[in-house]
Amino acid sequence: MPPSLTSLSHGAGCGCKIGAADLDPVLASLPRSHSPDLLVGTETADDAGVFRVSEDLAIVQSVDFFTPIVDDPYLFGRIAATNALSDIYAMGARPVTALNVVAFSLGELGADVLEQILAGGHQAVADAGAVVVGGHSIDDPEPKYGLAVTGVAHPDEIMTNAGGRPGDVLVLSKPLGVGAASTATKRGLATDSVMERAAAVMVELNREAAEGARRARASALTDVTGFGLLGHLHELTAASGVAAEVEAMAVPAIPGALELLSGPEPAVSGGTRRNRAHAETFARFADDVPEERRWLVCDAMTSGGLVAAVPEGLEGRARGTVIGRLVEGRPGQITVSGGPGGRGRGRGVVAEEAGRAGG
């Protein structure tokens, strides 16, 4: 009997990412690429690179892979692939091809497990209307899986994280709490239903959320993964030259996640702890924000939703929950308030197009 997948991983899903505070100085030291056709590079920490190949065609490229967040091989493959595809949707593009990225020990786990992982990834890619065209694998005692994805879009229709404007409303398309659910499951503290709800969030493609953002004429767009809501919103606001206000009580949570983040021993992953430590450098929490809500907005998500900045009055066209707005202020700074909901559930406005996971 092969060991469980999560028993072989040092960190679950996107929680295994190198923290932004440690990674940013390294990336800042590297030389910049220059080309008149490079529409989006590394300068704004966007979700994917964009290169113009003709007047009416740009290619959008990203790669994302991570360690197991669930034990079911097929589900792990599907989650990892969905997460990788999200970067393409976050740029307003359509995924067309994908390459498998595999680190795996055939001797430890067997070919059947690898086959199921790849089958799950293939299903997610097919659901997105794209095709798997190959891949690369290495022998590794700690399994890892993901995709290098190429998407396409018209150069004038690319959506980035750098166009946000003061007054824009922030809409989040999926609830948070995957990091808490996976950490509690690994510790044996969560019920199966909590992780099942988290898995349902993770396998949902962000295609409809991206379409909703376009309908709402989003000025800026990004996805929420390993750096947590505050970390990715910080990148968006810094790139856009604005600040943000977030109403903590309006931020949607996977049912059961807030309970896991409460109490003297909350189910907080290492990635979430790194996110919160980093957030303390750019975010200010109001005194009335409960501790579990502070952890939630820093939760190291895997295959999370999109957060879109849309003009006020058009949020009903987007998919998700209104959680705050962009404001004038020091670029990258975020204020997190408790909101009129006090310590209750909050009053987050659910956009008309919101689906099961968004509301």
Reference 161, options 306, 322, 14, 314; nearest CA is 306
In the sheet where 131-139 sits, what is the strand order? 38-40, 49-54, 57-66, 144-153, 94-104, 131-139
Provide the pLDDT for residue 340.
57
Give the predicted TM-score (pTM) of the model: 0.90
**Are the beta carbons of 86 and 223 closer than 8 angstroms?**
yes
Between helix 270-279 and helix 20-28 the angle, nearest 10°, is 70
- Structural domains for the chain: 6-157 (3.30.1330.10), 169-350 (3.90.650.10)
User: Can you give the pLDDT at residue 24?
Assistant: 72
Please answer whether residues 213 and 303 qualify as being in contact, where contact means their C-beta atoms are separated by less than 8 angstroms: no
Q: Output the six-digit token pair for 61.
A: 């490229």
In sequence order, what are the residues at sequence separation of 6 or more whose Cβ sits closer than 8 angstroms to the Cβ of residue 72? none
Taking the chain (359 residues) in consecutive chunks of 10 residues, what is each chunk's mean pLDDT? 77 60 76 89 89 97 94 97 97 98 95 98 98 97 96 97 97 97 86 91 98 98 96 97 98 96 91 95 97 97 97 97 98 90 40 35
Cβ(45)–Cβ(21) below 8 Å:
no
Q: Which of 12, 14, 158, 184 is catalytic?
A: 14
**What is the pLDDT, as a whole number, of residue 13?**
52
Separation between Cα atoms, residue 81 and residue 94, nearest integer Å: 15
Could you confirm whether 16 is annotated as catalytic?
no
C-alpha closest to that of 32 among 48, 44, 20, 17 = 44
pLDDT of residue 192: 80
Which stretches does DSSP call E strand in 6-165? 38-40, 49-54, 57-66, 94-104, 131-139, 144-153
